[in-house]
């Protein structure tokens, strides 16, 4: 046993041979060679920062043309992400709603109803807490970046931007918000990235489909498969995109200010997740089950530890609401660093979009980046070089989001069992023995 120190079990899927011995160094090297891995993204970000600092410290006046040309690969990668957003949302929402209908028709109507209500309400609560924290506590701490450096001057001069920030009667604001729910022209909504209208339209279409035998349903399945392949490829290209997004921005941004804003973003995100995971969900769990939520959570540690390590809920459970908490933090980060004011209606739209988008997200690592781009556009927050900062740390935050997601799924499973009386007999017998043992231990303590 002493000779197996720092050795962890792994499964090699390349040629069907199982390799049960892998040293820590071997594992790190394997992950380093994996396209789009967290280690590659970190290496790309560190290299970009190092090269950027060397260039800015040795060159007094960096030509604007050099900054633009160096950033081309990053811009193309970001545009590719934006290009797949709406197709992903449309098919994901259509299929999600249709699958819920299938569950109801298969005799799981009660379970489906409770499950939908649970996830919608808990997601709305998580988003509301995130919006309140980011808008009142964290936003004032952000440092506004130089507008010229960010390339946002054109937005300041744009008539639509002026109209956005102009004083508007409250009834007109409310009317416009509700008008954004239903598109007057679906094609125009798709062309102008009207995400909320597209989401609601997709939900309606998904509900009205005749079932799995529908031709449109089969088309959506195929499109979803293709988009998943495309997004997976783009995520593998993330290290290249991150490098060429960060490098040119270091030619014109203050590294100290970026570091401060980055720390605030991380603090904002993790605090919102902590409140949701350690306060709200345990309280909800205890109210319904009358059992110790923290003991249950620790008993299920292998699931959320695996989720934290893989950064994908596909490795544990398929339900994905992990992105909902993070959306407000990212949007406020992008807005605050550009001194872009968000109004009450913007926060309402962020809440609605985050809730609806979380229903249809695919369990792909860092897929939240794709939807963040569209929510930014929906509340008129310009997409600037600061988005590269979000990308650079997403590998880190994504692990905590996924762990919170899977923990929420585990709490939900026990609550749904209590509400509906539906049990997995094999799992229930094991769980009952574990809970009895836990309760006996706690009684002695």
Q: Which domains does the chain have, with CATH numbers?
A: 34-429 (1.10.3860)
Q: Is the dihedral of CA 87, 88, 92, 95 positive or negative?
A: positive
Give the list of residues 6+ apart from residue 220 with CB closer than 8 angstroms, or none: 90, 91, 94, 95
Q: Is the dihedral of CA 302, 327, 226, 39 positive or negative?
A: negative
Closest C-alpha to 154, from 382, 389, 386 = 382
d(CA 161, CA 348): 19
- First-to-last C-alpha distance (Å) of the chain: 34
Report the pLDDT value the prediction gives residue 224, as an integer from 0 to 100. Answer: 87
Report the pLDDT value the prediction gives residue 358, as an integer from 0 to 100. Answer: 66
* Whole-structure pTM value: 0.64
> What is the 3-class SS of the chain, one letter each residue?
CHHHCCEECCCCCCCCCCCCCEEHHHHHHHHHHCCCCHHHHHHHHHHHHHHHHHHHHHCCCCCHHHHHHHCHHHHHHHHHHHHHHHHHHHHHHHHHHHHHHHHHHHHHHHHHHHHHHHHHHHHHHHHHHHHHHHHHHHHHHCCCCCHHHHCCHHHHHCHHHHHHHCCCCHHHHHHHHHHCCCCCCHHHHHHCCCHHHHHHHHHHHHHHCCCCCCHHHHHHHHHHHHHHHHHHHHHHCHHHHHHHHHHHHHCCCCHHHHHHHHHHHHHHHHHHHHHHHHHHHHHHHHHHHCCCHHHHHHHCHHHHHHHHHHCCHHHCCCCCCCHHHHHHHHHHHHHHCCCCCCCHHHHHHHHHHHHHHHHHCCCCCCCHHHHHHHHHHHCCCCCCCCHHHHHHHHHHHHHHHHHHHHHHHHHHHHHHHHHHCCCCHHHHHHHHHHHHHHHHHHHHC
d(CA 370, CA 372): 6
Cα–Cα distance list, 219 to 90, 120, 178, 441 (Å): 12, 27, 31, 54
Give the list of residues 6+ apart from residue 130 with CB closer than 8 angstroms, or none: 272, 324, 325, 326, 327, 328, 329
Low-confidence ranges of the chain (pLDDT < 50): 1-19, 148-149, 151-166, 312-321, 363, 426-430, 432-435, 437-445
Report the pLDDT value the prediction gives residue 107, as an integer from 0 to 100. Answer: 56
Report the pLDDT value the prediction gives residue 293, as an integer from 0 to 100. Answer: 93
Beta pairing class for 22-23 and 7-8? antiparallel
d(CA 233, CA 213): 30
Cα–Cα distance list, 264 to 124, 129, 168 (Å): 23, 16, 32
In sequence order, the β-bridge partners of residue 23 are 7
Helix axis angle, 38-58 to 24-33, nearest 10°: 70
In sequence order, the β-bridge partners of residue 426 are none
d(CA 262, CA 255): 10
Are 308 and 399 within 8 A, CB to CB? yes
Are 348 and 177 within 8 A, CB to CB? yes
d(CA 32, CA 26): 10
Q: What is the dihedral of CA 130, 135, 137, 141, to 10 degrees?
A: 120
d(CA 93, CA 298): 33
């Amino acid at each position: 046993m002493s000779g197996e120190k720092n050795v962890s079990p792994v499964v090699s899927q390349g040629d069907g041979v199982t390799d049960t011995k892998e040293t820590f160094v071997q594992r790190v090297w394997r992950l380093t060679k994996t396209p789009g891995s967290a280690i590659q993204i970190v290496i790309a970000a560190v290299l970009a920062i190092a090269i950027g600092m060397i260039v800015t410290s040795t060159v007094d006046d960096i030509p604007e043309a050099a900054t633009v040309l160096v950033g081309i690969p990053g811009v193309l990668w970001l545009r590719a992400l934006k290009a797949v957003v709406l197709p992903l949302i449309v098919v994901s929402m259509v299929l999600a709603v249709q699958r819920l209908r299938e569950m109801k028709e298969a005799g799981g109507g009660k379970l489906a109803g409770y499950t939908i209500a649970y996830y919608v309400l808990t997601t709305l609560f998580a988003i509301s807490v995130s919006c309140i924290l980011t808008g009142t506590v964290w936003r004032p701490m952000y440092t506004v970046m130089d507008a010229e450096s960010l390339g946002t001057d054109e937005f300041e001069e744009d008539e639509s931007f002026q109209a956005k920030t102009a004083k508007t009667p409250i009834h007109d604001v409310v009317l416009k918000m509700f008008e954004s729910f239903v598109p007057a022209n679906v094609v125009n909504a798709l062309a102008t990235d009207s995400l909320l209208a597209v989401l609601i339209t997709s939900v309606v279409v998904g509900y009205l489909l005749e079932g799995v035998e529908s031709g449109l349903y089969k088309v959506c399945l195929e499109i979803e498969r293709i988009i998943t392949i495309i997004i997976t490829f783009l995520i593998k290209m993330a290290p290249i995109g991150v490098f060429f997004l960060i490098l040119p921005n270091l030619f014109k941004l203050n590294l100290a200010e970026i570091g401060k804003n980055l720390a605030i973003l991380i603090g904002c995100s993790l605090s919102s997740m902590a409140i949701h995971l350690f306060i709200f969900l345990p309280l909800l769990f205890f109210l319904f089950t009358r059992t110790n939520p923290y003991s249950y959570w620790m008993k299920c540690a292998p699931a959320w530890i695996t989720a934290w390590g893989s950064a994908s809920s596909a490795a544990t459970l398929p339900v994905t609401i992990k992105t909902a908490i993070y959306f407000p933090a990212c949007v406020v980060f992008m807005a605050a660093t550009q001194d872009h004011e968000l109004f009450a209606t913007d926060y309402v739209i962020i809440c609605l979009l985050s809730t609806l988008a979380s229903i249809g997200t695919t369990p792909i690592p860092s897929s939240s980046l794709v939807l963040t781009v569209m929510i930014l556009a929906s509340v008129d927050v310009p997409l600037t070089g600061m988005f590269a900062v979000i990308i650079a740390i997403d590998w880190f935050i994504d692990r905590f989001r996924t762990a919170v997601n899977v923990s929420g799924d585990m709490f939900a499973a026990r609550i749904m069992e209590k509400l509906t009386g539906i049990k997995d007999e094999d799992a229930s017998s094991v769980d009952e023995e574990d809970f009895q043992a836990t309760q006996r231990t706690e009684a002695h303590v």
